Amino acid sequence: MLEVCIDSLESAINAIHGGADELEVCSSLTEGGLTPSPGLVKQILDMVTNISAGKPIRKSCHECGCDKLTKKPKVNVMVRCRTGSNFHYSEEEMETMLSDVDVFKDFGVDRFVFGALTDAQDIDETSCEKIVQRAFPVPVTFHRAFDVSNDPHTAISKIAALGFNRLLTSGQKSSANQIEAIQLIKSLISSVGNKIEIMPGAGVNINNAQTFIEIGCQIVHSSCKRIRYLPKISNSLSMGTSDSEHIFVTDENIVRKMKEIIILK
């Protein structure tokens, strides 16, 4: 299967048209993915409902053939209230994220994505247990906080014991396609693959997706993105942490090619 991470309605539509099995809905993918707005999640859930009813996924769609779509992707929601590589959350931050779980659970989402560590970079079992219990019976993926944890094998054993049924990981490297990362992912599958699903992400693309299927991964994670350049503005005042003149948008054709590779393998 293919999970496509998206942070806009346009990207969601492109991913659905391309045949994505699951959508990981976020905001700010340039920051690694944060909790999305309720409005975006609701729009995506409405589109999925339209697919089930045999309707176009958007009222404005008339000639794109989306009224003939049959694949109903699962809608997974990121729960991460702030940016940064520090996943040790305060009591106030946890209360915010628990409230987010309540809101999106009422919406009827298919899965949550969450991860928390202690200040010593071990799995924060207390915070994770709270999220898993609040989300129940909706399943939860442990995200790439795993990739900055101290001992990957100890960490994944704790994650599985806490009730997470999927792990998103880049193999504790910047890209899951690095040799050391692939070796770690293979080792994780070998040691606990019957207890928790291992989903590689970060650097997974049409050129290497086949590698992860061949080593035993049942699902891969990718943004399937292309660059869209933004119009330049004359005022140089910065409005964020990034002064980038482009954004990333999921490309329908890349999603389709990724699916073809996965199915063939």
Give me the pLDDT at residue 68, please.
62
Residues with pLDDT less than 50, the chain: none
Give me the pLDDT at residue 60, please.
58
Look at domain 2-264 and name its CATH class.
alpha beta
Give me the pLDDT at residue 161, please.
97
Q: Which of 42, 36, 9, 56 is nearest to 109 (CA)?
A: 42
SS3 call for 117:
strand
SS3 call for 198:
strand
Label residues 193-215 b or e (16+ Cβ within 10 Å = b). beebbbbbbbbbbbebbebbbee
Give me the pLDDT at residue 218, please.
94
**Domain layout of the chain by residue ranges:** 2-264
pTM above 0.85, yes or no: yes
Q: Is the previous residue joined to 152 through a cis bond, with omega within 30 degrees of 0?
A: no
